[in-house]
Structure 1
Amino acid sequence: MQDQENQEVSQQSPLDAAIADAATEAAQAGAGQAGVPPSTAEMSGQSDLEAQLSATEAKLAEMHDAFMRAKADAENIRRRAQEDVTKAHKFAIESFAEAMVPVRDSLEMALKVETQTVDAIREGVEMTLKQLSAAFEKNRVLEVMPQAGEKLDPNKHQAVAVVPSEQEANTVVTVLQKGYMIADRLLRPAIVTAAAPK
């Protein structure tokens, strides 16, 4: 029987032997401490840990509350920004429309006049054009009206013909139609003729 136990022990791996030794030491240490009341130092350490735990829990709750408030604020800001963008798209033309209403009123009033004279019509058209120019200026609709001899700018000018001229090549000879820009964006290029290379 003893020989059989020795054989089993010799067949154990070093890892199994180490685990068995550790288990034996733990059992002996536990048996030695059974029934011994905890010391004052152990109780003090336990109360310190409990105090740290409660302080950490309080700080965690405070940080969670701050996080939830910040998240709600960010959501409100995002929602308001989205509403502002939607309103901007919907009412982007409002300012321009306000400026154009008097122009339409002037044209309608001109058509109601029974006896028209050439001078009265011309005067009415000039006044209406002034209103229209003011509406364009207010809404930053700017004319693109290049001068003869100005260098051709493909970002603002569209040359529909190249004509022989005494001017330098690729310069504006005549403007056939004004162009317009809205602030820095081209609305319509100026239609021009350009000088041919010599």
Structure 2
Amino acid sequence: MSEDAAAVEESDPETDAAADEPTDDDSEAIEALPADELVDRIIDSDETLTEPATELRSRIEALENEVAEKNNEIDELTEKLSRARADFKNYKKRTKQQQEEMKARATEELVERLTDVRDNLVRALDQDDDADIRPGVESTLESFDRALEDENVAFISPAAGDEVDPERHEVMQRVDSDQPAGTIVDIYQEGYEMADKVLQPARVTVSTDE
């Protein structure tokens, strides 16, 4: 027997079998194949797998179609979201502009009313020194009050004997009085509030605790 023949006879069957097994490179190549081609290779390798492989092909096609539909839905929703964001941004811009315009008009109207009040005061002061300007001043004050009321400004005018509200009343002085201790005796100066917000508290005198 020659040395070559002896080498063939002494070869390891397990080594030969391992040589026939697919390597990692082969596995990677199979994984890289398109699903449809991979199914064809399965059918070519074993005809008994034709039916399950065909079912697998159908399943893969159905899943691919479903993925395509979902991707289309995602694209549509993304486009709608982008449009909605743009519309909302434009809405905020328009709303801000409208608010600024309304504020400007409201300020303009208020100034116009206040200038009328000032004109009345100027006319009252232009009268002779010996003239009685009180009626004119009272009329001007009424006009001014109406202007404030038109702006929803309310007067804070507590009555004698009312409890002191720290948020709406500012105590200027404590005096002896027949009023219950700690209650308002008199108004030193009226206050103002607008939209439930105190612009200026009413200044009051309060009865002492004695």
Please confirm whether the aligned pair reaches a TM-score higher than 0.5, indicating the same fold: yes
Tell me which of 60, 72, 86 is aligned to 1:72: 86
Residue type matched to 2:172 in 1? V
1:195 aligns with 2:210: no
Higher RCO (Cα < 8 Å, 6 or more apart): 1
Residue type matched to 1:33 in 2? D
Residue type matched to 2:193 in 1? M
Root-mean-square deviation over aligned CA pairs: 4.1
Change (3 A) 1:4 1:104: farther
Unaligned 5+ residue runs, structure 1?
A: 13-17
In the TM superposition, residue 108 of structure 1 has moved relative to its aligned partner by 2.5
In the TM superposition, residue 101 of structure 1 has moved relative to its aligned partner by 1.8
Q: Secondary structure at the match of 1:118?
A: coil
In the TM superposition, residue 59 of structure 1 has moved relative to its aligned partner by 4.2
Q: Encode CA deviations 1:62-107: one digit per residue, 9 max, x unaligned.
A: 3343223212211111222333454466666334223212101212
Residue type matched to 2:86 in 1? A
In the TM superposition, residue 123 of structure 1 has moved relative to its aligned partner by 1.9
Partner of 1:98: 112
1:108 aligns with 2:119: no
Tell me which of 67, 73, 95 is aligned to 1:81: 95
**Structure 1: distance between partners of 2:195 and 2:129:** 38
Partner of 1:15: none
Unaligned 5+ residue runs, structure 2?
A: 1-6, 31-39
1:118 aligns with 2:131: yes
In the TM superposition, residue 158 of structure 1 has moved relative to its aligned partner by 1.0
Aligned residues: 181
Change (3 A) 1:109 1:31: closer
Structure 2 counterparts to residues 7-26 of structure 1, below 5 A: none
1:158 aligns with 2:157: no
Q: Secondary structure at the match of 2:140?
A: helix
**Given that residues 95 and 139 in structure 1 are in contact (C-alpha distance below 8 angstroms), is that contact kept between their aligned partners in structure 2?**
no
Q: Encode CA deviations 1:127-160: one digit per residue, 9 max, x unaligned.
A: 1111111111111221111111111111111112
Partner of 2:197: 185
1:175 aligns with 2:187: yes
Structure 2 counterparts to residues 42-81 of structure 1, below 5 A: 45=58, 58-81=72-95
Partner of 2:161: 149
Percent identity over paired residues: 29
Residue type matched to 2:94 in 1? R
**Structure 1: distance between partners of 2:43 and 2:139:** 111
**Structure 2: distance between partners of 1:19 and 1:88:** 79
Tell me which of 33, 44, 65 is aligned to 1:33: 44
**Structure 2: distance between partners of 1:65 and 1:7:** 60
Residue type matched to 1:118 in 2? A
